[in-house]
Amino acid sequence: MALTAELSAIWITALLACLGAQLGETKAAFLYVPFPPALPITENLAAICRDGGGRPRYPNSFFPPSGYSHDRRRGQAINRMESWFSLCCSGLVAQQPSQILCCAQQAWAQALSQFCVEEFSTKTVVYECCEDKGPARWICFNSELPNPDYSPKPGYTAPAMPQEPGFSFNPNVC
């Protein structure tokens, strides 16, 4: 009888730990990083620039201390891309709407390229789009999108994140 009570207590404790886990900004035991991000286009550019502070960011505190390496890399790619979008939208690197769109597209491609480099540097299975080359990679990344319109998350305000280094806009590509 004592063994049954002890096992029940262990199960209840484990269940409560899973259901009540505090994982950074989330209160759920299940983490989800909506990925991949959509290609910036004329139709979603206003939302990219206007609603950047309302889309989720993924600081280290969002994830448990170990595991979730795939989601960590995806979150880092989103953080990097959003940081670079802010440069494009601020008018610091591009002033005209066509240049802002071109800049955002370069930021998207550069962030996802770096994501693929990071994916291949691990001993895990890489994200499927990273296995493609050239235009096929970008077509893959721009399919099955969780947020193609770059809509903000209601009631969410992105935490302050450091500016990600490594992006340089090339206006000659536009």
Q: Which long-range contacts (CB under 8 A, 24 or more apart) does 14-23 make?
A: 21/64, 23/62, 23/63, 23/64
The confidence score (pLDDT) of residue 67 equals: 83
3-state helix, strand, coil in the chain (%, to 5): 55, 0, 45
| pLDDT one-digit tens code per residue, 52-65 | 999 999 998 998 88
Where in the chain are the domains?
1-30, 31-173
Rounded to two decimals, the pTM is: 0.80
pLDDT tens string 118-154: 999 988 899 999 999 999 999 999 998 999 999 999 9
The string over 100-110, giving b where at least 16 C-beta atoms fall within 10 Å of a residue's C-beta and e elsewhere, is bbbbbbbbbbb
Phi, psi of 23 (to 5 degrees): -115, 80
**What confidence tens digit (pLDDT) does each residue in 69-83 have?**
899 999 999 999 999
Which two tokens mark 133? 């080359």
pLDDT tens track for 15-67: 333 333 333 344 344 678 999 999 999 999 999 999 999 999 999 899 888 88
Can you tell me the distance from the alpha carbon of 32 to that of 42, in angstroms, rounded to the nearest whole number?
27
DSSP secondary structure code for residue 72 in this structure: H
Through-space distance between the first and last CA atoms of the chain, rounded to whole angstroms: 74
pLDDT tier for residue 68 given thresholds of 50, 70 and 90: confident
